């Protein structure tokens, strides 16, 4: 039985700490948003869910630590999917609680909106509640923006890829992972607009569609990037990792551009980030140029391969030719290679395109000169004497 690979304990501890801390902070949000007897029920449900989550995390995190020095990232994809699936469920309930508080007007705090008879202490308390609630919403966005990209970088584990020895190749892989991190922040910004303070709410169907579209992107796209690393294997070539750039170009750079543009033009949403709109425009231009250059490179390589033939003579065929005293010689067209032999020879000429350089062969792009393969049968035939003719 093959022993299991050694587990990278620091990697397991780091990934587990990130996951547990982010989950605990979201649990604090859920408990804080519920008051009275309902808080006890929420605490019990949160604890039961965390216990089940930790039991599954104990095994998956160890498997991730065992494959971190290999070229596979299968368990890393499982851990990411499992983590984001549970995390976004909690985020959804936090978002719905914020939305309910905004609709009921409880964000204004005690004493606010009670008329002109409100005292200064009540107004100050209401302002403090508004500031605290706004900071809480911003802190939730900051929590997701830090934990999710950092966990993705930890699961990718570029620094543990010992089989990638060239520094240039490792830096190129790291630059491609940086695009994944930027796209994660882009999706989180779109999703965070749903719970951050707003003057005018979006329609219910727009909010639901936006949240679950971002949910699917956060689940799937990092797994696509990790699967590319696994499929490349030990001989990883960063310029061939095009699955994620193509997918993110359509699902993130183009679609989120329309989402932000629609919210800004149709619903007068002032929270749209102009910086990330510019990022999407630049990303579309850069990725399009990359695809065009890569396609030209493939076409040039195909033409260069088709312009030159390859002559392969197998070892078994060469042995058979030697047994029957058959000599194979190559000669350029128009200059046959004739050998003076004592035995009668039966030449058979075959035209075969050659890939080896020869005199008179034009440059690439021009059809190469056909060479001749002369197969001479050197089997000795009995000579007839003149006496037998008479």
Token pair belonging to 363: 């440059």
Rg (CA), the chain: 35
**Percent of the chain clearing pLDDT 90 (strictly above):** 32
Q: What are the CA-CA distances from residue 199 to residues 121, 194, 251, 268 (Å)?
A: 25, 12, 28, 10
Q: What is the pLDDT of residue 117?
A: 39
Compute the distance between CA of residue 208 and CA of residue 386 in angstroms, rounded to an integer: 106
Scored b (16 or more CB within 10 A) or e, 365-375 reads eeebeebbbbe
Is the pLDDT higher at 376 or at 64? 64
Token pair belonging to 351: 């035209």
How many other C-beta atoms are found inside a 10 Å radius of the C-beta of residue 108?
17
Compute the distance between CA of residue 10 and CA of residue 301 in angstroms, rounded to an integer: 44
DSSP 8-class letter at 3: P
Q: How confident is the model at residue 107 (pLDDT cuts 50, 70, 90)?
A: very low
- Domain extent listing, the chain: 9-109+127-304, 309-354+370-379
Q: Is the pLDDT of residue 238 over 60?
A: yes
Compute the distance between CA of residue 210 and CA of residue 114 in angstroms, rounded to an integer: 35
Is the pLDDT higher at 234 or at 376? 234
Residue among 140, 238, 277 nearest 197 (CA): 140
pLDDT tens per residue across span 21-52: 999 999 999 999 888 888 888 999 999 999 99
Q: Is the pLDDT of residue 17 over 60?
A: yes
Q: What is the pLDDT of residue 102?
A: 76
Task: Show the DSSP H helices in the chain as ranges.
Answer: 9-32, 37-66, 74-104, 120-156, 167-192, 204-232, 243-248, 255-266, 274-307, 315-323, 386-389
Q: How confident is the model at residue 128 (pLDDT cuts 50, 70, 90)?
A: low
pLDDT tens per residue across span 254-300: 999 999 888 888 877 777 888 889 999 999 998 888 888 877 877 77
What is the edge-to-edge ordering of all strands in the sheet holding 346-353? 326-332, 370-377, 346-353
Contacts with 353 (C-beta within 8 Å, 6 or more apart), sequence order? 308, 309, 311, 368, 370, 371
109: left (phi over 0), alpha (psi -120 to 50) or beta: left
pLDDT tens per residue across span 138-187: 999 999 999 999 999 999 888 777 767 777 777 888 888 899 999 999 99
Mean pLDDT of 45-64: 92
- Rounded to 5 degrees, what are φ and ψ at 348? -125, 120
Residue with tokens 């037998």: 388
Scored b (16 or more CB within 10 A) or e, 336-345 reads eeeeeeeeeb
Q: Is the pLDDT of residue 211 over 60?
A: yes
pLDDT tens per residue across span 308-366: 444 444 444 455 555 555 444 444 444 444 444 444 444 444 444 444 444 444 544 54
Q: What is the pLDDT of residue 160?
A: 74
């Amino acid at each position: 039985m093959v022993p299991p690979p050694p587990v990278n304990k620091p990697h397991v501890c780091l990934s587990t700490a990130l996951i547990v801390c982010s989950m605990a902070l979201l649990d604090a949000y859920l408990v804080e948003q519920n008051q009275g007897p309902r808080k006890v029920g929420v605490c019990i449900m949160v604890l039961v869910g965390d216990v089940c989550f930790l039991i599954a995390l104990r095994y998956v995190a160890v498997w991730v630590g065992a494959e971190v020095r290999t070229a596979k990232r299968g368990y890393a994809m499982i851990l990411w999917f499992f983590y984001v699936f549970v995390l976004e469920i909690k985020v959804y309930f936090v978002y719905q609680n914020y939305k309910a508080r905004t609709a009921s007007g409880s964000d204004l705090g005690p004493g606010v909106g009670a008329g002109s008879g409100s005292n200064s202490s009540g107004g100050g308390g209401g302002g403090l509640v508004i500031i605290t609630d706004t900071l809480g919403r911003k802190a939730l966005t900051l929590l997701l923006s830090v934990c999710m990209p950092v966990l993705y970088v930890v699961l990718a584990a570029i620094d543990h890829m010992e089989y990638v020895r060239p520094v240039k190749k490792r830096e190129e892989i790291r630059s491609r992972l940086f695009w994944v991190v930027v796209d994660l922040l882009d999706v989180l910004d779109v999703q965070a607009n749903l719970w951050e303070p707003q003057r005018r709410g979006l329609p219910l169907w727009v909010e639901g569609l936006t949240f679950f579209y971002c949910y699917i992107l956060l689940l799937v796209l990092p797994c696509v990037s990790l699967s590319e690393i696994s499929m490349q294997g030990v001989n990883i070539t960063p310029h061939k990792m095009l699955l994620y750039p193509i997918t993110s170009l359509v699902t993130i750079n183009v679609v989120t551009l329309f989402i932000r543009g629609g919210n800004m033009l149709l619903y007068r949403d002032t929270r749209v980030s102009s910086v990330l709109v510019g990022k999407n425009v630049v990303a579309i231009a850069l990725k399009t140029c990359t695809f065009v250059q890569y396609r030209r490179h493939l076409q040039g390589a195909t033409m260069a391969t088709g312009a030159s033939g390859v002559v392969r003579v197998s070892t078994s065929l060469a042995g058979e030719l030697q047994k029957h005293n058959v000599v194979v010689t190559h000669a350029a067209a128009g200059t046959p290679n004739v050998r003076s032999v004592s035995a009668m020879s039966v030449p058979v000429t075959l035209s075969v395109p050659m890939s080896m350089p020869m005199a008179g062969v034009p440059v690439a792009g021009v059809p190469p000169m056909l060479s001749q393969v002369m197969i001479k049968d050197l089997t000795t035939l009995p000579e007839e004497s003149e006496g037998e003719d008479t």
